[in-house]
Amino acid sequence: MTAGRLLLLAPLVYLGLFFLYPLAAILQRSLVGDAGLDLASFRSVLGDPYYLGRIWFTIWQALVSTLLALALGLPAAYLFARYEFPGKVFLKALTTVPFVMPTIVVAMGFVALFGSQGLLNTSLMDLFGLDTPPIRITNTLTIILMAHAFYNYAIVVRIVSALWSNLDPHLEETARMLGAGRLRTFGKVTLPLLLPAIASSALLAFAFSFTSFGVVLILGGAQFATLEVTIYELTAKLFRLPLAGALSVVQIVFTYLFLLLYVRLQERSAVRLDLKPQSATVRQRNRMGDRVFIAAMILALFVILSPLMALVERAFSSGDGYSLAHFARLFSNEQGSYFYVSPARIMLNSLRFALATVAVSLVVGTIVAYFLSRPGRRGKGVFDALFMLPLGVSAVTLGFGFILALNRPPLDLRGSWVILVIAHSLVAYPFVIRSLLPVLRGLPPNLREAAAVLGASAARVFIFIDVPIIARALMVGATFAFAVSMGEFGASLLLVRPDFTTMPIAIFRFLGQPGGANLGQALAMSSLLMAVVALGFIVIERFRYRNVGEF
């Protein structure tokens, strides 16, 4: 067994122990009765129009989310790939903030902006002296579609721009010189080259929406329940584990088939690329058209962010004016509660879990991506899809799986912080794999070969040839691993000790009680979450080495 194979054992053990084993444990508990495997629950799930409706809606909403995210994200990806402009790093950090926010906070943002008492309506009513709010889109399809696009925009922007910024523009220029129009050049040259990254981001956006509890549900009402929600209801409230187990299996099988299909398509679309440093691909923004484009894209970004900005505005307003009152309240334990945790501690908790998640995800994701990118060996697709599977499994199913499987020494992780990091990283490392793969597959082999011929060891080849080229994609993976962990809430049933409270959990606690002060503190904590993650993204973005360029 070569050293490379040996290295692959680590992620395999990790996946087996922390994903497959807990999953098997909960499915066995749910589906296997005294008389062996009980197929009746599959029959009742697949024969019931209600559950079929939930399955169909889940697929449908995930597809629409993905398409909208692509439509909105691709132009922005081009902006960040090909232009330099002041404030770029900051704006790029902002694109990813929505991805982190808890769904109920996002829903509140949409209501604060577009609701009948929202900023937009009240301003219009003041302006035109209207008696009734002119915009009525809460609980409609319009607001749902807007929210969809809002969530996954970042995935497309980040992953596609990482590849786009390194594409050699000479290819496009050549096509143009040979007489191809702009559109034709894009369709025949740029798009095929970008396809691996577009597919990667589409997959992630789809998988994420597929298992999402759904901003749709919160904005649109209970008839918009996804599979994830239905599994949660069946497990935690109705306690019909056989039905929940059967639905989980349906969810897993569907995700797996979808992943296999995707892997096949992606293998076919893989193209060897001549990757260039971004400094060589950047466009000058002298022309009027370029400037208009940049301005329009930045404006679009602010429109996307406007629901969150409306919340920040509310976080600072108290009574008739603006103040820091809600923030100040976070710092005092007025009621002497046992569960009070200072905001500094909460932020630190979130950051610690996120950093640990980033570290685990980078290690696991990089090893797996390397294995998958090596040419040859049929059947790799099976592994690729398997390693992506955690993205497609219900959080509540896996959570209870942990409780059943990891409950005896030496693996009694209940009540330990480790279990939270494991839960977070299972959703996070697929982002690292998908960020790395398009770049790794496009890596020209001649560089490595040359280095090896000159006597470099495998480790030196990795450090001096590969890392500089994949650094940018690594950073994208790290960004999402960080984002996933900072926003993760589904693992809350894994026994959260008061001193483990994270920012999203704190936000939910405040929103669990009535009253303006609770709402205010939830909004203040949400604003802090936005600030912390934006700052985190900027730090990650800055974390690179200059002499090799911005790969």
Partner 1 sequence: MKLKALIIGLVLVALTAVACAEEDEAPPPAPAAAPAAPAATPTPAEPQKLVVMTHDSFDIGEEVIREFEEANNATVLIQKAGDAGEALVRAILEKGNPSADLLYGVDNTYLGRGLDEEIFLPYQSPALSNVPAQFILDSTYHVTPVDYAYVNLNYDKAYLEKNDLQPPATLEELTEDKWKDRLVVENPASSSPGLAFLIATVAYFGEDDEYDYLDFWADLRANGLLVKDGWSAAYYTDFSQHGGDRPLVVSYATSPAAEVFFSEGKHTVPPTGNVLVDRATFLQIEGIGILKGTAKVDLAQKFIDFALGISFQEDFPDKMFVYPVNSKAQTPDFFKFAQVPTLPADISPATIGEKREQWIDAWTRAVLR
- Applying the rule CB under 8 A, the residues between 140 and 199 that interact with partner 1 are none
- Does residue number 438 form part of the binding site for partner 1 (CB under 8 A)? no
Pairwise CA distance, residues 77 & 155, whole Å: 10
Query: If DSSP codes are grouped into helix, strand and coil, which group holds residue 83?
Result: strand
Find the binder of partner 1 among 91, 162, 199, 229 (CB under 8 A).
229
Please provide residue 67's backbone torsions phi and psi, each rounded to the nearest 5 degrees: -65, -45
Nearest distance from C-beta of residue 374 to partner 1, angstroms: 22
- Does residue number 139 form part of the binding site for partner 1 (CB under 8 A)? yes
- Does residue number 309 form part of the binding site for partner 1 (CB under 8 A)? no
Nearest distance from C-beta of residue 242 to partner 1, angstroms: 13
Find the binder of partner 1 among 8, 12, 517, 538 (CB under 8 A).
517
Nearest distance from C-beta of residue 496 to partner 1, angstroms: 5
- Are the beta carbons of 10 and 367 closer than 8 angstroms? yes
- Does residue number 337 form part of the binding site for partner 1 (CB under 8 A)? yes
Rounded to 5°, the CA angle 309-334-532 comes to 30
Q: How many residues does the chain have?
A: 551
Please provide residue 317's backbone torsions phi and psi, each rounded to the nearest 5 degrees: -95, 135
Which x/- pattern over 92-121 shows residues binding partner 1 (rule: CB under 8 A)?
A: ------------x--xx--xx--xxxx---
Nearest distance from C-beta of residue 360 to partner 1, angstroms: 8
Given the rule CB under 8 A, which of 69-77, 192-200, 374-382, 515-523 is the region that contacts partner 1? 515-523
Find the binder of partner 1 among 50, 56, 302, 322 (CB under 8 A).
50
Nearest distance from C-beta of residue 133 to partner 1, angstroms: 8
Nearest distance from C-beta of residue 338 to partner 1, angstroms: 4
Pairwise CA distance, residues 395 & 399, whole Å: 6
Pairwise CA distance, residues 104 & 11, whole Å: 34
Cis amide prior to 410 (ω within 30 degrees): yes
Instruction: Show contacts with partner 1 in window 396-425 (CB under 8 A).
Output: 396, 399-400, 403-404, 407-408, 414-418, 421
Instruction: Show contacts with partner 1 in window 455-474 (CB under 8 A).
Output: 463-464, 467-468, 471
Nearest distance from C-beta of residue 79 to partner 1, angstroms: 27
CA nearest to 32, candidates 249, 245, 239, 227: 245
Query: If DSSP codes are grouped into helix, strand and coil, which group holds residue 36?
Result: strand
Find the binder of partner 1 among 69, 218, 249, 315 (CB under 8 A).
218
The most distant pair of C-alpha atoms in the chain lies apart, rounded to whole Å, by 79
Given the rule CB under 8 A, which of 181-189, 266-274, 299-307, 509-517 is the region that contacts partner 1? 509-517
Nearest distance from C-beta of residue 532 to partner 1, angstroms: 15
Residue placing its CB nearer to partner 1 in the complex, 73 or 490: 490
The pair of three-digit structure tokens given for residue 531, joined into one six-digit string:
């600030």
Around Cβ 19, how many Cβ atoms within 10 Å? Answer: 20
DSSP state of 132: S
Pairwise CA distance, residues 316 & 415, whole Å: 36
Instruction: Show contacts with partner 1 in window 340-399 (CB under 8 A).
Output: 340, 348, 352-353, 355-356, 358-359, 362, 396, 399
Nearest distance from C-beta of residue 42 to partner 1, angstroms: 19
* DSSP-assigned letters across all residues of 381-441: HHHHHHHHGGGGS-HHHHHHHHHHHS-STTS--TTSHHHHHHHHHHHHHHHHHHHHHHHHH
Nearest distance from C-beta of residue 248 to partner 1, angstroms: 14
- Does residue number 221 form part of the binding site for partner 1 (CB under 8 A)? yes
The pair of three-digit structure tokens given for residue 105, joined into one six-digit string:
């906070």
Size of the site for partner 1 (CB under 8 A): 95
Instruction: Show contacts with partner 1 in window 233-272 (CB under 8 A).
Output: 233, 235-240
Residue placing its CB nearer to partner 1 in the complex, 176 or 509: 509
Pairwise CA distance, residues 550 & 468, whole Å: 9
